[in-house]
Copies of this chain bind each other. A is one copy, B any other.
Amino acid sequence: MNESALLTDLYQLTMLQGYWHEGMAETAVFELFVRRFPPQRNFLVAAGLAQALDYLENLRFHEAEIAYLAETGLFQDEFLETLRDFRFHGDVDAMPEGTVFFPDEPILRVTAPLPEAQLVETRLINLLQFQTLIASKAVRCVLAAPGKRQVDFGLRRAHGAEAGLLAARAAYLAGFAGTSNVLAGQRFGIPVFGTMAHSYVMAHDDELAAFRGFARSQPHNVVLLIDTYDTLAAVDKVVALAGELEKENIRIKAVRIDSGDLRELARAVRQRLDRAGRTDIGIFASGDLDEYKLQALRDAPIDGFGVGTKLTTSSDVPYLNCAYKLEAYAGIPRRKVSAGKQTWPGAKQVYRYYAEDGTLAYDSLTTAEDRQNGEALLQPVMRRGKRLHPPEPLSVLRERVAAQLERLPVPLRSIDQQAGYRVEISPALQRLTETTDQRLGLH
């Protein structure tokens, strides 16, 4: 990860100079939440906390960065001096990664001296909104084609290297089987998948020779791409080759189709394979897939899917209306009332309530001091700039997501239907909002 302290908006630094000038360093509370959900999302899945905490723990300004800031001519030397010792010493409470959440619910709360809590805004949003975006998209793919193995193929059209890397992580924690992204495999321990592209077939003068050469070069990972020229003719070559390779103890695991009408082709390919007695050869499909196409293909004879561009860019919803807002400073709750951008004041907590059958019933958004019987979703994760626990393994996050999906009410699980979920504003939070507005002269 590129964790330069300069990976932020300039205004964070000019505000820091202002706070320094005015001697404002008392405790601030900021919360990160998604204001309104796009109509295509019934719920979101929180993700990216591990990277956010890494960032906070390692944040510091290096010599060359301070020198660059000096060159801009915008900063006073005495202020820049203070950046040399700048560290994040704050507290963080957050929903565990993989938690399902709803509009206006904070997924992360930072409590820190004002300048520290301010500076980190940009990168915290950058890290949390992106992985949350992709985990939420990936979960929809999982819901659309349950029981089918899905693999992230999106690196090439991801928005840069980090997007490809973090999208692979977010998709895996959401329930994908793995990724084609080798660096994500190395970095995060995610299973990697991949065999051949059209170029492999095209570089050979003969399709069968390409299949044979590939299979012999990696006898334990033989998936053959059959749609470079004539898909059904290629199946016949695969069948012939399968018999030939058996004598060499090489097994063709599957064929892949990457274009055309996947449903029709899969049916025809399956039929042709079965007639030849090749029920042991699976079918893997890819090409422009998303949750809608996956749902349409769920009863096609396809064993697994490669999901690429539309996952990694969350193409129908390429961003979330995510904000990181000042909720309190120096013990006084704060509130923004800009048109359409009002926020609930003060440090907050979310309590979740379940129905008797274990499914989610409703959430209560309340003040951090309020004590309720529900499940408190925001948990302490960092105190005085240090993590309270080691990062959670991805296996734990995968189990959490799977468990939460099982407890989702059925309408929320639909990828088509718009289904609401009740987030109650607690009486305590309503009272606090009223007193805050009175103080601001809004009543």
Asked, given contacts A129-B156, A160-B163, A217-B18, whether A326 binds B199 with beta carbons under 8 Å apart, the answer is yes
Is A398 interfacial (CB 8 A cutoff)? no
Is A4 interfacial (CB 8 A cutoff)? yes
Is A259 interfacial (CB 8 A cutoff)? yes
Stretch at the interface among A271-279, A315-323, A352-360, A375-383: A315-323
Is A205 interfacial (CB 8 A cutoff)? yes
A251 to B: closest C-beta gap in Å: 15
Is A329 interfacial (CB 8 A cutoff)? yes
Q: Which of B9, B185, B340 is within 8 Å of A153, CB to CB?
A: B9
Among A12, A161, A181, A195, which residue has the most Cβ atoms of chain B within 10 A?
A161
Residue of B whose beta carbon sits closest to that of A126: B156
Is A180 interfacial (CB 8 A cutoff)? yes
Measured as residues with beta carbon below 8 angstroms from the partner, the interface class of chain A is 35 or more
Which residues of chain B come closer than 8 Å to A163, judged between CB atoms? 159-160, 162-163
Q: Which of B159, B186, B339, B440 is within 8 Å of A159, CB to CB?
A: B159
Which residues of chain B come closer than 8 Å to A6, judged between CB atoms? 182-183, 185-186
B260, A339: Cβ atoms closer than 8 Å: yes
A373 to B: closest C-beta gap in Å: 33
Which residues of chain B come closer than 8 Å to A216, judged between CB atoms? 21
A160, B160: Cβ atoms closer than 8 Å: yes
Q: How far is the CA of A313 from the CA of B196 in the complex (A)?
A: 30
Is A389 interfacial (CB 8 A cutoff)? no
Mark each residue of chain A from 240 to 273: 1 if its CB lies under 8 Å from any CB of chain B, else 0.
Answer: 0000000000000000001111000000000000
Which residues of chain B come closer than 8 Å to A428, judged between CB atoms? none
Q: How far is the CA of A440 from the CA of B217 in the complex (A)?
A: 25
Q: How far is the CA of A192 from the CA of B205 in the complex (A)?
A: 54
Which residues of chain B come closer than 8 Å to A221, judged between CB atoms? 14, 74
Q: How far is the CA of A328 from the CA of B171 in the complex (A)?
A: 36
Is A372 interfacial (CB 8 A cutoff)? no
Q: Which of B1, B20, B127, B314 is within 8 Å of A217, CB to CB?
A: B20
Is A213 interfacial (CB 8 A cutoff)? yes
Q: How far is the CA of A336 from the CA of B230 in the complex (A)?
A: 11
B158, A72: Cβ atoms closer than 8 Å: no
* Residues on A facing B (Cβ under 8 Å): 1-2, 4, 6-15, 17-22, 24, 28, 30, 64-65, 68-69, 72-75, 114, 118, 121-123, 125-127, 129-130, 153, 155-167, 180-183, 185-186, 192-200, 202-203, 205, 213-214, 216-218, 220-221, 227-229, 258-261, 309, 313-315, 318-320, 322, 325-326, 329, 332, 334-341, 440, 442
**7 A-B contacts, Cβ less than 8 Å apart?**
A4-B183, A21-B216, A22-B213, A159-B313, A228-B338, A259-B339, A259-B340
Known contacts A14-B214, A229-B337, A313-B319; 18 additional CB pairs below 8 A are A7-B182, A9-B153, A10-B182, A14-B196, A18-B213, A19-B203, A20-B217, A21-B213, A22-B217, A28-B203, A160-B163, A160-B166, A199-B325, A205-B332, A227-B338, A227-B339, A228-B338, A261-B339
